[in-house]
Structure 1
């Protein structure tokens, strides 16, 4: 394990800690996770930071994380930023407290919505959006570099709206995000700021206006989803191939352990909340592939072989599922830039972490993925992009808990397979139909807001000659 030798039970922390303020001056307002990663790389497998009065314990070693993923000793800890979002997430799968009976009911209700059979059903909707996205890029091909982040955000938000509750945002016909997604993203950003500012004395006075605006956004978001649910209940014969339809059919008055329409709304908004950063993974993948012609050709050859030379419409579910190398590309992106920068675990009883660090019952520990995913178990040059880290033999040789992009256990992200399928579909559609070139001198930069989001990422695109008309 990394770090200097420590006494049993002593947690390493940054030097020069300031009274009252703690380690605030060692963190970056713009990139706090990157600052924590720099600190943690020299502090060891378990370390702590202090932000005002808040003591935060973090873990970043596969052996330690294996302990934390032991469901007999640790459970999910719901952090204050999720508590803040309960205005719209309620007791949804993301935000429900451990032991809340509503979580068990909702989880049982939603499991069928993420079965492979359901995924095949959703594929038709997702593939239609992918074709709309391809048509959108066809109009831009050969012109100025495209804004990858803006356009992939449009695609993933449109996929989320349609496959979650049949809502068409019209993302390719507008310059700004739909008001629903704009309000939800603003609430996510507000919850992150509130989580930090609430530790400052008298911060409630400063945040009063922002809290009022957040409350208004919450009422709007709730009203949009409630209106869709009422419309569906009024005409149950009109079936929709989306997640809401699955939940409504499984939650009638004759169903044991039914949940209310309000709770269904919580689940729908929770899925939209979790999908906000879906675009980041295929966007960053395009950056790495554009920078490496050899890897780009390997990925494109796999797609061409699976789809054939003359695919005019969207690919089938099976054709996307065959893209093993492209899936390794996505996994490597999630290793370097995990959509979940960390997840919280809470001790069910007094215990000792990694046979060294006493943890009290109820104490929270953050599994810090930016360092976990750069542990020496990943081999040499852990900052380099190498999809072959995920060939089966190398996966089996690593500790099982070295890769945790979606959390762990029963409270891991229920929509992870849907998110991966969306990313595969978008990325493969781009590579099949377009040539891409990076902008000279661009270096990947990310913004930490609801995950990690690439900043200033543009690409020059041209239609591949053999597919020049088929994406229209």
Structure 2
């Protein structure tokens, strides 16, 4: 029994069966949402057993805060994350704590998200956003939000990471690398599910053979980019340039080419799926709350002025405070990375009374933590960007908002993602009025991350409201 919690009995869905466990009632297309629905009824700590694998879920803000204590807990590895090591190796997301490339890569790459680097990425974001708006502007009828945002975020990360243009907006077709990456990641997720099933090893071996060419293509493309840069040099200010040229300030160590490949693959996965989903969820909620959309557009008019094609400067992006609150609130409602696992450094007893040993892990269910009335109030299921006003955030329970993970293993690219997302929203809302599909009901697509499924919007060029200049005081 994996993740056995010393054999302690935890609340679980009714109808558990021998061998297969709680598989009855589990919808494979919306497995995580099924887990969330079940866990919401079972208390702060619950379990679901799929064949021989036990998944343990933490659902309250109080328990989340306990598990996020870095003195007692660290990152845990679920079967799905372990399976992703076939793709990302010892990259920042999938590396084990003891692997030397994690602290080395982390220390080398922290400066890549400092202000001077972000100023360079700002120009990349502006260019890619122009391409998205031109592409959408030439489209007749409604546009598919997720498709466009995925193209945008993939171009942003490839150009920022290794100055490579994938030409996403030059064709309706998906770039072969994206197709290969998605296929390889889907195979990894399936491996995590199959790992404890009867004959699971045979099924995993067959799945690996079937998808080997996708993994090989992804690795070969990145290896070719790294090899070419080593031979020819080039732009040393992107992420690849930093990894090729920089040495650790204390040890003098550098990343080898395999480690660099793993980091780039990790950035490509994490950097495009998460931000694409965050943008898509934000637009969904803006479409559903017209008064919020109007306030957001008024803010863009005040900052960008009467020109619908005005582009925000680097210094202006942090001034879109209401847009940022809209983004934060959308990530509270539906965090695109919906959970992360924690495991104790030593044996501990939780506030629930359960013992937890190193190797036991609990998956923090962010959609439930982020809607816990104890932390967020009785209206926690309502979309309200103003709950992130400073005066309302002050004193809120610690660790009750975790869309970027926690502690030393939290998302290193957080500022990259937030700056890009606010910039894109500002440009889009300033240039266009948005008309929703009146019949659309939110459906969640489960990939490596979460995304609104089949969300569409009609775009109509708008005339910003001219805001009189304020008289200096």
Q: Which structure 2 residues correspond to residues 230-245 of structure 1 after superposition, within 5 A?
A: 230-236=227-233, 238-245=234-241
CA offsets, 1:192-228, max 9 Å, x none? 1111122211134344443123222122111111111
Aligned partner of 2:253 in structure 1 is 257
Q: Secondary structure at the match of 1:225?
A: helix
Is 1:381 aligned to 2:401, yes or no? no
- Residue 68 of structure 1, CA deviation: 0.8
Q: Which structure 2 residues correspond to residues 420-459 of structure 1 after superposition, within 5 A?
A: 420-459=418-457
Aligned partner of 1:188 in structure 2 is 185
Aligned partner of 1:3 in structure 2 is none
With 407-416 and 75-84 compared, the bigger mean Cα shift is at 75-84
Q: Which structure 2 residues correspond to residues 262-301 of structure 1 after superposition, within 5 A?
A: 262-275=258-271, 276-301=273-298
Aligned partner of 1:159 in structure 2 is 156
**What is the CA–CA distance in structure 1 between the aligned matches of 2:301 and 2:312, rounded to whole Å?**
11
CA offsets, 1:239-288, max 9 Å, x none? 25421122222149997022212211111111111122321111121121
Q: TM-score, normalised by structure 1?
A: 0.92
Q: Secondary structure at the match of 2:254?
A: coil
- Residue 20 of structure 1, CA deviation: 1.4
Aligned partner of 1:307 in structure 2 is 304
- Residue 460 of structure 1, CA deviation: 1.1
CA offsets, 1:323-363, max 9 Å, x none? 11111111111111111111011111110112622112321
With 303-312 and 155-164 compared, the bigger mean Cα shift is at 303-312
**What is the CA–CA distance in structure 2 between the aligned matches of 1:151 and 1:256, rounded to whole Å?**
42
Contact 2:113-2:413 within 8 A present in 1 as well:
yes
Q: CA RMSD in A?
A: 2.0
- Residue 80 of structure 1, CA deviation: 2.5
Is 1:365 aligned to 2:377, yes or no? no
Aligned partner of 1:175 in structure 2 is 172
Contact 1:122-1:241 within 8 A present in 2 as well:
no
Aligned partner of 2:469 in structure 1 is none
Contact 1:63-1:354 within 8 A present in 2 as well:
no
Contact 2:77-2:361 within 8 A present in 1 as well:
no
Aligned partner of 1:4 in structure 2 is none
**What is the CA–CA distance in structure 2 between the aligned matches of 1:440 and 1:221, rounded to whole Å?**
40
Runs of 5+ unmatched residues, structure 2:
1-7, 466-473
- Residue 110 of structure 1, CA deviation: 0.8
Q: Which structure 2 residues correspond to residues 413-424 of structure 1 after superposition, within 5 A?
A: 413-424=411-422
**What is the CA–CA distance in structure 2 between the aligned matches of 1:34 and 1:430, rounded to whole Å?**
30
Contact 2:310-2:427 within 8 A present in 1 as well:
no
- Residue 313 of structure 1, CA deviation: 5.1
Aligned partner of 2:144 in structure 1 is 147
Q: Are the structure 2 counterparts of residues 88 and 11 from structure 1 closer, same or farther at C-alpha, using a change threshold of 3 Å?
A: closer
Runs of 5+ unmatched residues, structure 1:
1-8, 468-472
CA offsets, 1:372-401, max 9 Å, x none? 111112112322211112111222232111
**What is the CA–CA distance in structure 2 between the aligned matches of 1:267 and 1:137, rounded to whole Å?**
32
Q: TM-score, normalised by structure 2?
A: 0.92
Q: Secondary structure at the match of 1:43?
A: coil
Aligned partner of 2:196 in structure 1 is 199
- Residue 311 of structure 1, CA deviation: 6.3
Contact 2:301-2:464 within 8 A present in 1 as well:
no
**What is the CA–CA distance in structure 1 between the aligned matches of 2:47 and 2:294, rounded to whole Å?**
44
